[in-house]
Amino acid sequence: MPTPTRGFLGRRRERDPRLPPGQYDVGGDWPVLTAEPTPRIAPETWSITVDGLVEQPTTWSWDEAHRLPPSEYRGDIHCVTTWSKLDTRFSGVSVDTLLEAARPTAEAHFVMATSRTGYTANLPLADVTGGKAWLVWDFDGRPLTPEHGGPVRLLVPHLYFWKSAKWVSRLTLLTRDQPGFWEQNGYHDRGDPWRQQRYQGD
Amino acid sequence: MTEALGADVVGAAPSGGWRSAVVAGVRRPVPRSVQLRLDVEDRVDHLPGQHYVVRLTAPDGYTAQRSYSIASAPGDPLLELFVERLDDGEVSTHLADVVEPGDVLEVRGPIGGWFVWDGESPALLLAGGSGVVPFVSMLRTARALRRTDLLRIAVSVRTLEQLPYADELLQAGALVVTTREARGIRPAGRLTGADLVPLWEPGQTVYVCGSGGFAESATGLLVELGVPPSVIRVERFGPSGAPV
Ligand SMILES: Cc1cc2nc3c(=O)[nH]c(=O)nc-3n(C[C@H](O)[C@H](O)[C@H](O)COP(=O)(O)OP(=O)(O)OC[C@H]3O[C@@H](n4cnc5c(N)ncnc54)[C@H](O)[C@@H]3O)c2cc1C
């Protein structure tokens, strides 16, 4: 245990057990955190492509994606800058549905998510399969706003939120892990909030 | 991954682990904030624009950590931070009210490889309030390199009295816009597109730093002026309208 800081007691507020260590509840707020200006992307021009190590590289337009079986996430989200938002509701489509169509090969172990802005985030394939990841276009029953990644963002709620790439347009299956945007800039490759995997080496 | 997303800086930015830092200086040049000068053991030199994490530990082991941009230039023997005090804040109140010279703080850094200036390329710097901190590091670096010609700075703040590093910024020719008081013939008001026209030149990288609200409105102005989004880099300070 590190030496206590002289005079610091901490302002422990009542802690909700759903909060991972070092996180606080923002309540009704939803802070915006992005390294780039917010792009305005018309849904008609948006599409999602699944490529790389897949048997059937596939692209879905906005309309095509909306014809896939709908799927919903209800639960909490956690940002590495220490806020968490509890009881959120997002809807869209499960990443499993996209992968079933594109069929990852046996060599595929990682995914690189790419945004229309060029932002990237890397993830182990196991973190986006088995009902753990979505492409979402609605938040709380309303279209996702551009600041929060609309028209469509990736949602991987069990990892820190920088993994949930805003304005997502491509998922590329890879054999080996490659650092994405924040990961090249010192952030952790996996980003599990319960283990406080904030920076490389945590 | 596009070129715009920092392919040029990635890999080049230094990063360091946890260190202990002795507080060497505490000053309060601006109301409701504190400037800390830290002597960091085994310090890894930073690039201007990078930040540190400060971690406070309570007697029972409870910890709180927050990010703070570096104000000093890499050549400064001490590390300088500038912290605005939030009334209900946990860490900023401790740093502003309790910390004294001689105290030891745990710090981690430097961190960040995106919001950094290379000291060679032209840059436009737009800050809201305490968002000037990383730009002070860039300005001090430019002065040391005798390349202040590369930087254009615009700052928006409530009143001049509340602007950290006001003298340094004004001396460097920064445009200072005050939103709660008139300045000269200019009435109180926000930064406008017209303010930015004479400052923006193709070839610049544009750095925007401040609260979430400031960052959103400033990037909006830039995009309206036709600045390509790919040259704009944004750092947002903390939660509830307050990064990385
Ligand atoms: C990359 C980066 C660089 C930064 N650089 C600087 C800098 O140079 N200078 C600077 O002053 N700041 C900087 N910040 C912001 C800084 O990290 C802190 O966010 C800020 O000092 C506030 O921390 P705090 O502990 O005082 O406040 P917190 O205790 O975190 O509170 C912040 C706000 O959140 C709310 N809040 C927090 N916890 C709770 C809770 N449990 N329940 C309800 N509400 C809560 C409070 O209402 C408060 O208004 C930077 C942030 C980032 C990400």
User: Complex ipTM, two decimals?
Assistant: 0.82
As a whole number of angstroms, the distance between CA B149 and CA B127 comes to 18
As a whole number of angstroms, the distance between CA B148 and CA B36 comes to 25
| pLDDT of A123 over the 70 cut | yes
Residue A200 Cβ contacting ligand 1 at under 6 Å:
no
Identify the residue whose C-alpha is closest to ligand 1 atom 27.
Answer: B89
Q: Which of A14, A30, A36, A122 to mutate to test the interface with B (most CBs of B within 10 A)?
A: A36
Tens of pLDDT, residues A129-181: 999 999 999 999 999 999 999 999 999 999 999 999 999 999 999 999 999 98
CA of B30 to the centre of ligand 1 (A): 18
Residues of B in contact with A29 (CB under 8 A): 239-240
B70 phi, psi to nearest 5 deg: -90, 130
Query: Which residues of chain A approach chain B closer than 8 Å at the C-beta?
Result: 1-12, 22, 24, 26, 29, 31-39, 80-83, 114, 117-120, 147, 181-182, 184-186, 199-201
Dihedral sign, CA of B19, B20, B22, B23? positive
Q: Which of B94, B221, B227 to mutate to test the interface with A (most CBs of A within 10 A)?
A: B94
Tens of pLDDT, residues A47-61: 999 999 999 999 999
> pTM of this prediction?
0.81
Of B113, B220, B240, the CB nearest to A184: B113
Beta bridge partners of A143: A138
Beta carbons of B117 and B207 less than 8 angstroms apart: yes
CB contact (8 A) between residue A147 and residue B111 = no
| pLDDT of B8 over the 60 cut | no
| pLDDT of B5 over the 80 cut | no
The closest-lying atom of ligand 1 relative to the alpha carbon of residue B95 is 26
Q: Which of B2, B10, B244 to mutate to test the interface with A (most CBs of A within 10 A)?
A: B244
CA of B64 to the centre of ligand 1 (A): 11
As a whole number of angstroms, the distance between CA A168 and CA A98 comes to 13
Of B15, B229, B239, the CB nearest to A36: B229
B137 phi, psi to nearest 5 deg: -65, -40
Alpha carbon B221 to its chain's center: 20
As a whole number of angstroms, the distance between CA A200 and CA B11 comes to 13
Tens of pLDDT, residues B111-144: 888 899 999 999 999 999 999 999 999 999 999 9
Tens of pLDDT, residues B20-68: 999 999 999 999 999 999 999 999 999 999 999 999 999 998 888 889 9
Cα-Cα-Cα-Cα torsion B198, B199, B203, B204, nearest 10 degrees, comes to -170
Q: What is the mean pLDDT of residues B86-92?
A: 90
**Alpha carbon of A49: minimum distance to chain B alpha carbons (Å):** 15
Residue type at B180 in one-letter notation:
R
Comparing C-alpha atoms, which of A26, A38, A163, A16 is closest to residue A88? Answer: A26
